[in-house]
Structure 1
Amino acid sequence: MPIATVNPATGETLKTFEALGPEEIERRLALARSAFEHHRTLPFKDRAALLNRAADLLEEDQQDIARVMTTEMGKPIGAARAEAAKCVKAMRWYADRAEKLLADEQPPAGDVEDSGAARATVRYRPLGVVLAVMPWNFPLWQVVRFAAPALMAGNVGLLKHASNVPQTALYLEDLFSRAGYPQGCFQTLLVGSGAVESVLRDPRVAAATLTGSEGAGRAVATVAGDEIKKTVLELGGSDAYVVMPSADLERAVGTAVKARVQNNGQSCIAAKRFIVHTDVYDDFCDRFSAAMKQLTVGDPMDEATDVGPLASEQGRQDLEELVDDAVHRGATARCGGRRPSNLDRGWYYEPTVLTGISEEMRIHHEETFGPVAAVYRVSGADEAVAVANDSPFGLSSNAWTRDEAEVDRFARDLEAGGVFFNGMTASHPALPFGGVKRSGYGRELSGHGIREFCNVTTLWHGAQ
């Protein structure tokens, strides 16, 4: 895949970039290792000053970088601005809290005495150079939610971004440089996926984090496992959205629309499988389909647009194949199910609601990365849990109910890294984020995320 900005609203290639050669990659690896030896010794207040400065600059750049993101991957311009603002918030959150999150821990005095120590401490020390392999769908946020905690912990970063968002990738390197980070603390590697293995195998790289497809995660995990290097993986998701009879149906429907079409439907944590109790199924489907039909599909630079194009022609083709397979096997398209007739350029697809989903359909087991919703009818909580868990993925989930017994049931039994009750799944700096099953392992964000790339060190002191 070429490293290029291709506007998904038009299909036009705007700018291409040459991949870095072996000599330049070697130079950057050496620079990263050298930068780590300095950065790891900085006091937290100095690291915080750097990150807060980066946040200030990003806030100033919000409109400009939003336009770059929209041009490169097609998200509506309002959503792009919101993504930049979210990154600013996360940077400041970690700048303010990292020192406390990574403070030395003192085991209970009785346990220390029992170990034979005069005193003992647990300390969090940075691992070193961390390789980040990041996706195009949230090209700023996915990187910042890794970089902010990693840099505050004393690590340094190498970014291998998706090949279709090179300008966003280069902006991130420039942002941290302008903020005053020493050369080598955060670098962008404009390389293809074929170069990832050699970089990850380099002894100067201590660990890796990847957000992306199941296949990409498996490839990185295989190499890292062979090298015995720490990894955090956030892979695909096919999140369940359960609606029970006691739910506030108006809110459940309104949130369902937002949850399905956020980022043009291209989000790992977007609700994708809507599992609705039979008592409210018909009403939900009528309201949901009507609301999806009313969405405005068009130019993502237009403030009035609700749903822009998919990020790539291949992505639209993959989505079309899933929908066509489902319809061929008996599903009904309550709305959408085709390309918009009024848009002759770009990779657009209509917001779509499918009912009558069955197990033999590909869409039952595969992730839909676009504005397509699959709706299931269930008879009760038992069946809702069974359908929700009948997926290879387990990133997050939603449950709409005002019945406390059902809340307890779903909290106990839904197989996912998160369960959001009566609201939409979202990531926040204070809350751990990650999945189970084929959605990956490890956690980002919160105190759990900042400690993922730390050496949890025991300091044991005998009597002098």
Structure 2
Amino acid sequence: MGGEWVAPQGTGRIDVISPSTEEVIAQVPEPTTADVDAAVAMARRAFEGPWRNTTPAERGALLARIADEVEKRIPEFARVFAAEVGAPVAVGETFHGLATAMLRQFATLHESMRFTEERLDGGAKMRIVREPVGVVGAIIPWNGPVAAAAFKVGPALAAGCTVVLKPAPEGPLTNYLFAECLEAAGVPEGVIGILPGGREIGEHLVRHPDVDKIAFTGSTAAGRRIASLCGQRIARFTLELGGKSAGLVAEDADLSEVLPSLVPAGIGHTGQVCAAITRVLVPRAREAEWADAMAAALGSVVVGDPFDPATALGPLAAERQRERVEGYIAIGRREGARVASGGGRPAGLDKGWYVEPTLFTGVRNEMRIAQEEIFGPVISLIPYDGLDDAIRIANDSQYGLAGAVYTNDPDIAERVVREVRAGQIFVNNAGMCVTQPFGGFKQSGIGREGGPEGIAAYLETKMINFG
């Protein structure tokens, strides 16, 4: 807190449990609400003091230094990420590479963004000034702690805000490494505090009267709670929430060209990605062909030790997460869907919270496995009858975060990207782009992160009239 390592005001400890061994691998201090108050007070003093007078170029230079420090330690980040979250080392390297890309983008955004703008309105001279919103409470999940932190710290610092960052208790270690990078980069006193903790700490941060904005990534249920609390005091907020994204496969799509993109988009990082393509829509006439091909592809995925270079999928991040995923697999069976691949625990992995990548066929879009976010490696294959029906199914969801369309027909692609209501849609590819506006329609969130749109949520606009 305040640019220094400080002793917590309580005596509680958080056990960090390895998802692959089920053993405690570390303990970190558990913050109290008094620690939150202290961190917010430091952030407020910094915001109202020297930090507010820094220039966009100075803040950009600091972000570039932070990016340099993170980049130097990507192999270390990846190993710790594998230990605390269970992601294969290669996945961790990718995630932390994304973090540096985001930090570098916000480091240079001031070169193209106008924080001050002169206008004429009739005969009056106007000045439009975009000022930092103030102290930001950033609440991030465990599935990509440093990438999620960069998504919020990057635009907040670029805008001139100060930050109190609350990582999830399941992913504190990589964020402590991130804190070391901030320290090495020379982040000024009070500008960033990092307090990994649970829901009580998060709620206290959301309610805090000296926090001007909340930036949250997590579940839609938690997002509703945050929106309600922020609404009580008219605090600013952005929410990046859940998804149940659809990959629409057109009649002309080639199996061999689509599967290398579509399968990882559904089960990558063991399905613990909000933008995962977990509903695959295929023409009814080709349903059996696609079912066989996808089942074979999922069955060939190597699940195991995240430190083994051959591993493609590690364990789920927490025991409760495996219980959730297994619960949904049971629900899918009860609803009448068929398990075409997976559906159980991998053989030979007696320790760790592993689950097989699972494909359901015979799925109707109204089933719970097609409507609710599972956050695990479970894909629903859903047949459609014509393009109108496919678009209807894609949009028949409370979510609207991401999507994909696979076709060689540009007219089909253009119609799908126009009519599917989602924040990011890929053509003949799938994933998420973090350096362009990312966020969702409907219950997938409010606001955008990444690009110029990402910094806008951390700024207030002031109009000055000179007459």
Amino acid at match of 1:454: L
Greater alpha carbon shift after TM alignment, 438-447 vs 398-407: 398-407
Change (3 A) 1:288 1:22: closer
Match for residue 55 of structure 1 among 63, 67, 71:
67
Q: Any residues of structure 2 matched to 1:207-286 within 5 Å, and which?
A: 207-286=213-292
Say if 1:70 and 1:301, in contact at 8 Å, map to a contact too.
yes
Say if 1:256 and 1:288, in contact at 8 Å, map to a contact too.
no
1:403 corresponds in structure 2 to 409
Match for residue 104 of structure 2 among 92, 116, 133:
92
Say if 2:262 and 2:429, in contact at 8 Å, map to a contact too.
no
2:338 corresponds in structure 1 to 332
Say if 2:325 and 2:376, in contact at 8 Å, map to a contact too.
yes
Q: Any residues of structure 2 matched to 1:89-238 within 5 Å, and which?
A: 89-107=101-119, 109=120, 112-113=121-122, 116-117=123-124, 119-238=125-244
1:376 corresponds in structure 2 to 382
Q: Any residues of structure 2 matched to 1:309-328 within 5 Å, and which?
A: 309-328=315-334
- Provide the secondary structure at the position in 2 that maps to 1:354: strand
Q: Quick one: distance in 2 between partners of 1:242 and 1:423?
A: 11
1:455 corresponds in structure 2 to 460
Query: 1:102 Cα shift?
Result: 3.8
1:15 corresponds in structure 2 to 26
- Provide the secondary structure at the position in 2 that maps to 1:48: helix
Query: 1:412 Cα shift?
Result: 2.4
CA offsets 1:188-213 (integer angstroms, 9 cap, x no match): 12332112233223222110011001
Say if 2:31 and 2:201, in contact at 8 Å, map to a contact too.
no
Provide TM-score, normalisation by structure 2: 0.94
- Indicate whether 1:71 and 2:83 are aligned: yes
1:33 corresponds in structure 2 to 44
Change (3 A) 1:26 1:330: closer
Say if 1:394 and 1:438, in contact at 8 Å, map to a contact too.
yes
- Provide the secondary structure at the position in 2 that maps to 1:158: strand
Match for residue 416 of structure 1 among 412, 422, 438:
422
Amino acid at match of 2:112: K
Q: Quick one: distance in 1 between partners of 2:162 and 2:461?
A: 17
Say if 2:402 and 2:432, in contact at 8 Å, map to a contact too.
no
Say if 2:57 and 2:110, in contact at 8 Å, map to a contact too.
no
Greater alpha carbon shift after TM alignment, 343-352 vs 7-16: 7-16
Say if 2:115 and 2:131, in contact at 8 Å, map to a contact too.
no
CA offsets 1:85-114 (integer angstroms, 9 cap, x no match): 11112211211223422443344x4xx11x
Q: Quick one: distance in 1 between partners of 2:379 and 2:216?
A: 26
- Provide the secondary structure at the position in 1 that maps to 2:214: strand
Q: Quick one: distance in 1 between partners of 2:37 and 2:381?
A: 50
Say if 1:3 and 1:166, in contact at 8 Å, map to a contact too.
no
CA offsets 1:212-240 (integer angstroms, 9 cap, x no match): 01121111111111010110001110000
Unaligned runs of 5+ in 1: none
Change (3 A) 1:34 1:99: farther
- Provide the secondary structure at the position in 1 that maps to 2:392: helix
Query: 1:162 Cα shift?
Result: 0.6
Query: 1:2 Cα shift?
Result: 7.0
Greater alpha carbon shift after TM alignment, 129-138 vs 98-107: 98-107
Query: 1:359 Cα shift?
Result: 4.8
Query: 1:295 Cα shift?
Result: 0.7
Query: 1:360 Cα shift?
Result: 5.5
Say if 2:44 and 2:135, in contact at 8 Å, map to a contact too.
yes
Say if 1:177 and 1:183, in contact at 8 Å, map to a contact too.
no
1:366 corresponds in structure 2 to 372
Q: Quick one: distance in 1 between partners of 2:372 and 2:32?
A: 36
Amino acid at match of 1:457: K
Q: Quick one: distance in 1 between partners of 2:232 and 2:353?
A: 39
2:92 corresponds in structure 1 to 80
Q: Quick one: distance in 2 between partners of 1:171 and 1:35?
A: 23
CA offsets 1:151-176 (integer angstroms, 9 cap, x no match): 01101111111111111222222321
Query: 1:420 Cα shift?
Result: 1.2
Change (3 A) 1:449 1:67: same
